[in-house]
Amino acid sequence: MLGHLRAVPLLLGQPVRLLRHYPRGALRDDVLAGVTVGLVLLPQALAFSLLAGLPPVMGLYSAMVASIAGALWGSSSHLHSGPTNTASIVTLSVLLPIAAPGSPEFIAAAGLIAVMAGVIRVLLGLARLGLLVNFVSDSVAVGFTAGAGILIISNQIEPLLRIDLPPSTGLLETLIGAARQIGAVHLPSLLLGVATMLIIFVWPRITRQVPAVLIGVTFVAVASYLLGLEALGVSVLGPQPAGLPPLASLPLLDLELIGHLANGALALAIIGLVEAVAIARAIAGHSQQRLDSNQEFVGQGMANIAAGLFSGYPCSGSFNRSALSFQSGAKTALGNVFSGLFILAAMFVLAPLLAHLPRPVLAGALVVTAWSMVDLKAMQRLRRGDPGDALIMGVTLVATLLLPLQFAILIGVLMSLGYYLLRTSAPRVVAVLPDAEFKHWEPHAGRPQCPQLAVVDILGDLYFGAVNHVEETLNAILAATPGQRFVLLRMHSVQHIDISGIRMLENLRRQLREQGGELFFTRVRGPVLERMQASGFFEHLDPRQILDEDTAIDTLFYRVIDPAVCVYECERRAFLECQTLPKRTLPGGGAPHIPLLPLTARPAPTLTPRELWDALHSADPPLVVDVREPREFRGGHVPGALLVPLPTLLSDPQAVPRNRRLVLVCRSGRRSTRAAAVLAGRGYDRLAVLEGGLLAWEGQNLLTAVEEVIS
């Protein structure tokens, strides 16, 4: 919290830093870029305000004020704030149930909702919640933008055809109403709109040095004036006031109206932030500028507050104007400030000419820009990709066309969150085995697994929403191979674990230990390991249970799992270590009457290699009984040892004498421990086990007998 409070002066002081560190020599480039962007901004501001059902001058006021405030308080040098297609259509959608478009109540509500949306954005920025934009997926953005573009096109039918349609954002109502009045189409208006669209489409093929929108609007408007089409009934903007934007009289204390606008303001804030930050990041990908999402939230908030207070309406970032700012060579955010000042100057100089600008010309320009919002390539890619993303895009698109826009974006966001939760709450939990070359792990795909050890990949986080699924899947994996009592969890894909995940691991560990087994881990990430330690999970966990990826199977094979099962009861050879192991399957599938021993089982005392050496050289030496297979015995054994393979010991009660002190030996001590349990059950009481087996004996460089193999 203290860090957030310290960031407030920093975020609000952005204009001071911008001006203090303004580079020398950048002024000329910024002024030229500002004028270039201003030439595009002027017709767009007029068109977008009409789209929102507001007087054209409000678009000019918004363009002027928002571009300056957004540039001064934002973090991007090129993101241009002002009237946009999306902000205009959402504003119209939100305000239609409250007042008639163009009415004083409608105008006042537009200014108020701009201030409300701006305050929400500023507060989100000051609270350093810039990461919230990440929760609106691309599928929602693509679906909503496409739907908004289609709605914008439908809303231009009325000025293009010069017919009377009731105020509505309903697509079906608009199309039905237009079809019923098809005979009343005003041909000159339609020709002006179509001509504007054709020029904007064709002009970029001729040159991109001069903006196509500016050329299309200017050329067709001049042609209309020279042909006298205004006298033939073509509607025009009419007289526009010239001068500085006046301070608006807003119903800031009308709590009832604020309550009605609250949902719409939140929708405007979220949609505008997603749009603006996405544009800023796209431009930064070319300019290599580092962005601060929190600062951008504040910039967009200030732009909307300023627009609302100075007789404007809600704004956002514009992609084409931002790209034009970058392409025009703007060096700093002051380039966008100069575009606002250009609009101010144009209002004094061009006000008389703007009065004769035909509305169908602006409608034609809007149709072209709206069509560019329908990104067919992105929609195709989403359709061919994840089915969930495609469904979210489709539902958002349909909701945008049929429902109020604030509800459409809410539905899309909720679906994205729900889909995210669905995926993260059911991470893949896969039993894996080595591939044919024993180099990589892969899903077992129905291949027989090791009867003792399950190796499992957990591909997702272990948080409260996922632990039930993970636990159930792990239990199903263990149930599929009865007898598996050792589990190795590969945790490289687990980025986060909470207390629910810790408890799930504790339950699994307790379940395995009750069966005489144990739980092991490999590739545990640092934050997950720290959480395990902090939660007390390590208090009952041997650090040696966190294994190295490269040596995990080797360690488990030679030090943990029961070799008697490997040698006498298993023909599967699941791991590389199994390939050279002597196999001697017992008749009847093994010796099921011999219980598996837990890792901590000690049926007999142990002797160290040095203690056994001393005992063998004492007055009463013990009898060393080697329970390995003959092939292993011939490769090396304790001098004087008696070979009694474990199958023989299990099947012949008289295989070893009862009147001698016995020391049981095997490779690592596990088979001998199992043999000791068998003999102890038969009443043998003078037993001991060589600790660590022959590996430990050889590790002490003690004498080993080797039998010559005669071929």
> Which residues are part of the catalytic machinery?
666
DSSP 22: P
Q: DSSP label at 490?
A: E
- Nearest Cα to 449, choosing from 413, 487, 420? 487
According to DSSP, residue 446 is labeled: T
| 93 Cβ contact list (under 8 Å, min separation 6) | 169, 264, 404, 405, 406
Name the residue among 57, 64, 100, 98 with its Cα closest to residue 81. Answer: 64
| Stated length of the chain | 711
In this structure, which amino acid lies at residue 235?
S
SS3 state at 623: strand
Q: What is the rounded distance in angstroms from the CA atom of residue 54 to the CA atom of residue 7?
A: 37
Reference 48, options 18, 87, 10, 14; nearest CA is: 87
CB 150 within 8 A of CB 367: no
Neighbours of 99 (CB within 10 A): 18
CB count, 10 Å around CB of 461?
A: 20
DSSP lists the bridge partners of residue 147 as: none
What is the rounded distance in angstroms from the CA atom of residue 166 to the CA atom of residue 28?
48
The C-alpha atoms of residue 673 and residue 668 are separated, in whole angstroms, by: 10
Alpha helices (runs of H) in 127-250, residue ranges in sequence order: 138-155, 157-161, 171-180, 187-206, 212-227
> Between β-strands 316-318 and 428-434, what pairing exists: parallel, antiparallel or unpaired?
unpaired
Phi-psi region of 460 (alpha: psi -120 to 50; beta: other; left: phi over 0): left
Assess contact for 575 and 435: CB atoms under 8 A. Answer: no
CA distances in angstroms from 147 to 82, 266, 492, listed in the order given: 21, 19, 41
> Residue 368 to residues 201, 374, 501: CA-CA distances in angstroms?
8, 11, 53
C-alpha count within 13 angstroms, C-beta hemisphere, residue 533: 9
Tally Cβ neighbours within 10 Å of residue 577. 16
Alpha carbons 292 and 279: distance in angstroms, whole number? 13
645's torsion region: left (phi>0), alpha (psi -120 to 50) or beta?
beta
**CA separation for the pair 486, 516 (Å, rounded):** 9
Pairing of strands 316-318, 80-82: antiparallel
| Coil/strand/helix, residue 398 | helix
Among residues 159, 146, 143, the alpha carbon closest in space to that of 51 is found at 159
Measured on CA atoms in the order 253, 254, 256, 261, is the torsion positive or negative?
negative
Beta strands 642-643 and 80-82, pairing class: unpaired
3-state secondary structure of 242: coil
Q: Dihedral angle at the C-alpha atoms of 396, 402, 403, 409, nearest 10 degrees?
A: 20
> Which of 163, 156, 154 is closest to 186 using CA atoms?
163
Cβ contacts of 668 within 8 Å, gap of 6 or more? 558, 559, 563, 692, 693, 694, 695
* Edge-to-edge strand list for the sheet holding 453-459: 441-443, 428-434, 453-459, 486-490, 518-522, 546-547
